[in-house]
Amino acid sequence: MQASSEQPLTPSRERLVALASCAVMVAVLAALSLVAIPLPISPVPMTLQTLGVFLAGGLLGPGLGVLTVAVYILVGVAGVPVFAGGEAGLGVILGPKGGYVVGFLLSVFLVGMAARAVGPKWRGGRCVMAMLVGLVAATAVVYVCGAGWLMLVAGMEVRQAIVVGVLPFAPGDVIKIAAAAALIPSVQRARALRRS
Amino acid sequence: MSGGCAESADVAAGQGADVRLRSGSLAVGQYLPGSSVLHRIDPRVKLGISVVYACLLFVVIGWWGMATMALGLVAGVAISRVPVMYLWRFLRPFVVILVITLFFQAMSLPGEVLLALGPFRFTTAGLAQGGVVVTRLLLLLLSGALLVVTTPPVAVTDAIAWYFRPLRRVGVPSGDVALVMSLALRFIPVLMTESDQLVKAQRARGIALTIRSPLRSGRALLPLVVPLFVLGFRRAEELADAMLSRCYRGTEGRTHYREMRLAPVDAVWLLTALVWFGCALVLGRGWVGW
């Protein structure tokens, strides 16, 4: 991943495909952030933004996953409406909801590490359990960053930040964790089928 | 040869901008073409000023500093000649959370009770502090919006890539970040259209994209997410092959279709901003004894 002077000028096909996949994942992440699904159990509609972050980590691995989320944030800062609900700009990152977006950087890394630990063999309950642990940890990190930033920026107390910034999203996130654990192997299988 | 490659890649990014403008759902909260002084400032200077401004908002405390910060931003909005209603669209999604913030802040401090509604006691001191916090957040959102409204995304990403360049020495793959950013700008409108078509296509097949039980959620999203990823990764491979067959040679020493040049005017604006930030600091931190 390092751009040093010893590296040949023309990048290898593998490397270029990896970088192009990151760009595509940024676009997929943007598309998923705009999808809003109404939930019968929560007043907040669920966006698929965190699902996209989980999938980026699970499919690209920790390094490329972090690159993907970093570029997603930068493109949003540059004014393309890629954040949840079609928001954009530097104010979104530093504003009240900014902690979640920055938390994605850590969570994509965690999911990537979990996916790497689990490896390409996906059969068996133990692998699913390991993936679930990684996903729950990633979600917890997003909550800590999001609620922590909310406390800092909006001057809320812990309990207020949890009521405003964690509880409304919890039902959707349970769904997304389950979905990510099911989807990551499906997409990998579909890609493997296409290659062969 | 490599110059030609770079040019075609940048032109491709330019076409992406066109597609984006044509797609209806993406037109919200976007760059508004114009010819004002603010539109013409070098994007690097604009980005730098915006970032410093945003950071300064957290350093400056009290009404005097906030007023200085707000005054400068209002002047900027006036110079840009962007309709106020256009900027309001950036703030609207945050109204609820700002009201909640003010509500909590107004109760947080003890003191003279201004208004008591049942268990809620709003104090004057709390309301004043909440006012500062909400003003800070509003200015933060507005300044980010002003940058985005007066600068095309490609120019901002070029500016970001320029600021990232020195970070290469500490191991940040800045060339990769720049490449992925320009490719992402090109891919976003394409995949937005494709996901829109996917939703319609799956609905036409009678698939309901609503979730009834958490246990079956993965299955419910399967017909949407799996094709989206498979399509996306196929495009990535096609793009990599296309770039290699057009002799793409990496980001090192690549030329640009649009060169960023600092004009004397930019120095004037930079100086103005510095003076303005200085004033805000002096007034905001109470460094003048009055």
Q: Hey, what amino acid is at A104?
A: F
Per-residue pLDDT of chain B (290 residues; tens, 9 = 90+): 333 333 333 333 333 332 233 333 443 346 888 888 889 899 999 999 999 998 888 888 778 888 889 999 999 999 999 998 888 888 888 888 888 888 888 887 777 777 777 777 788 888 888 888 899 889 988 998 899 889 888 888 889 988 988 888 888 888 888 889 989 988 888 888 888 888 888 888 887 766 565 556 666 777 888 888 888 888 899 999 998 898 887 777 677 777 778 888 899 999 999 999 988 888 877 665 54
Stretch A138-142: mean pLDDT: 93
**Max alpha carbon distance in chain A (Å)?**
57
Over pLDDT 70: what percentage of chain A? 84
Q: Does pLDDT of A173 surpass 50?
A: yes
The tally of domains found in chain A comes to 1
Q: How many CB pairs under 8 A join A and B?
A: 279
pLDDT tens profile B3-31? 333 333 333 333 333 223 333 344 334 68
pLDDT at A125: 66
pLDDT at A67: 94
Contact between B82 and B149 under an 8 Å Cβ cutoff? The reply is yes
pLDDT at A83: 85
More confident position, B102 or A126: B102
**Chain centroid, CA A50 distance in Å:** 5
**In a domain? residue A23:** yes
Window A:151-180, CB contacts with B under 8 Å = 153-157, 160, 164, 171, 174-176, 178-180
Chain A residues in contact with B147 (beta carbon < 8 A): 79, 89-90
3-state helix, strand, coil in chain B (%, to 5): 75, 5, 20
CB contact under 8 Å between A74 and B177, yes or no, is yes
Contact between B5 and B249 under an 8 Å Cβ cutoff? The reply is yes
Chain B nearest CA to A59, separation (Å): 10
- Judged by average pLDDT, the poorest of A82-91, A161-170, B122-131 is A82-91
Q: Does pLDDT of A149 surpass 70?
A: yes
Chain B residues in contact with A175 (beta carbon < 8 A): 211, 214, 217
Q: Hey, what amino acid is at B192?
A: M
CB contact under 8 Å between A96 and B101, yes or no, is yes
More confident position, A127 or B12: A127
ipTM of the complex: 0.82
**In a domain? residue A5:** no
pLDDT at B58: 85
pLDDT at A43: 63
CB contact under 8 Å between B184 and A71, yes or no, is yes
Q: Give me chain B's average pLDDT, please.
A: 79
pLDDT at A141: 94
Chain B residues in contact with A55 (beta carbon < 8 A): 225, 229
Closest CA to B90 of B26, B145, B139: B145
Tokens at residue A17, please? 């495909």
**In a domain? residue A6:** no
For residue A78, what is the enclosing H or E element? Answer: none
pLDDT at A54: 92
pLDDT at A124: 59
Residue of A nearest to B241 (CA): A13
Chain B nearest CA to A30, separation (Å): 7
Full-model pTM: 0.82
pLDDT tens profile A9-29? 677 888 889 999 999 999 989
**In a domain? residue A3:** no
pLDDT at A97: 81
Q: What is the CATH number of the domain that holds A16?
A: 1.10.1760.20
CB contact under 8 Å between B226 and A38, yes or no, is no
CB contact under 8 Å between A88 and B29, yes or no, is yes
| Structure-token match 């990998």, residue found | A188
Give the one of A3, A96, A182 whose C-beta lies nearest to B137's C-beta.
A96
pLDDT tens profile A103-114? 999 999 999 988
Could you tell me the residue range of the domain that residue A67 belongs to? 11-195
pLDDT at B139: 92
